[in-house]
Structure 1
Amino acid sequence: MQLTSFTDYGLRALIYMATLPAGMQTNITEVTDTYGVSRNHMVKIINQLSRAGFVAATRGKNGGIRLGMDPEHIVIGDVVRKMEPLQLVNCEECAITPACRLRSVLNNAVQLFLKELDNYTLADLVQNNDSLYHILLSEPPVAIQNK
């Protein structure tokens, strides 16, 4: 199964925000510059993540984006469910639908995929990952360095 770029960059945006000190805001430009994705695309992604509660977005002069909840509470499987169209095949107009077993097999595969992703949180992806902090922030925040 391949995730859409929408979901891929949504996860990457969350990873970026999770590397920041707790509660610190960033902005969409910083995220788009980090990953080299179009601002237009990232605005849509952040909007979706915000509607799902994973991101808190503040408008205005002092506005920005930050995680909407602690990384320990952001389950990767939940993010994928909110971002990804999970129907692998369209059986509505297929001639063999009444006798086909493929839909059931693929649905089971998707459920197993999501079940595996449910074992991980955003915190699992960023904690004790100094290399990630160095890449994204040049150096880990002080609170992270002391762990």
Structure 2
Amino acid sequence: MHFRKAQKEDLPAIVRLLADDGLGSGRERYEDPLPEEYDQAFDAMEAQIGNQVILALEEEEVIGCIQLTIIPGLARLGMKRAQIEGVRVDKKYRGKRVGEALFKEAIAIAKAEKCGLVQLTTDKQRNDAHRFYERLGFSASHEGMKLIFKMEK
């Protein structure tokens, strides 16, 4: 297994992973061709410094992904933080430490970027994910909230 930063041509593999679970299947549209919104989002991420998707690959097959965003801030004496989102591992590779390896890679990048902490949000329904994150050393130190807008086409 090896890691690399995602390229635009990886979008179908990434969206496939994002859509391949109970919650993601209702949020994502994995179809051919992919909706243009994915291309636009990827371009916006590429334009933003410190925002990337890291891929785990096995023989050039995308088997996992994690989005890592480095966020400068003023709080905590101007500390930078890393935000992790969009963590997915192909069903065939779950239980084989792919997710753990992805997190170690993302955390190493965050440390190299001089971040003081790594944070993530996780859906309250993802009990297995909560146990996984706790095993990696994350603690549920804050209560998160979201305000979701219904987007008009």
TM-score of the aligned structures, taking structure 2 as reference length: 0.24
Q: Which has the higher strand share?
A: 2
Q: Which has the higher helix share?
A: 1
Higher relative contact order (CA 8 A, sep 6+): 1
Which structure would you say has the larger Rg? 1
